[in-house]
Amino acid sequence: MRMFKDPPKKNLGQHFLTDQNIIDKIVLAVSPKPGDFLVEIGPGQGAITFPLLKKHGSLTVIEFDRDLITPLMESAEGIGDLTIIHKDVLKVDFTKLAADQPAIRLVGN
């Protein structure tokens, strides 16, 4: 697993979740089910991403910071199917994203 070493970029409003208790509560609250189309907004360093990926096997994330794309992809290898949309979430067409899905379940912290 690739180590994330860059600090949060305050100009992007980043804050990286590190409290395992909170992470566990979020994953428990999401409680992914087979067939769910999960989309995480702002995965950052993957605090919620990787536990959800392990539990569900498939996850789409929307990340604006290009410096996080490669570490996320490398860290996801062997865990599950991670799709990364490199875009500002405010510019994502969620209707198009959900075109072949019954519903989107959005996740974030």
The answer to whether residue 18 scores a pLDDT higher than 60 is: yes
| Residue 104 confidence class, pLDDT cut points 50, 70, 90 | very high
Q: CB count, 10 Å around CB of 40?
A: 24
What average pLDDT does range 19-46 have in this prediction?
93
Tell me the average pLDDT across 4-27. Answer: 77
Query: What predicted TM-score, i.e. pTM, was given to this entire model?
Result: 0.87
DSSP state string for 5-70: -SPP-GGGT------HHHHHHHHHHH---TT--EEEE--TTTTTHHHHHHHHSEEEEEE--HHHHH
Task: Read off the amino acid at residue 29.
Answer: A
Percentage, residues of the chain above pLDDT 70 = 88
Average confidence score pLDDT of the chain: 89
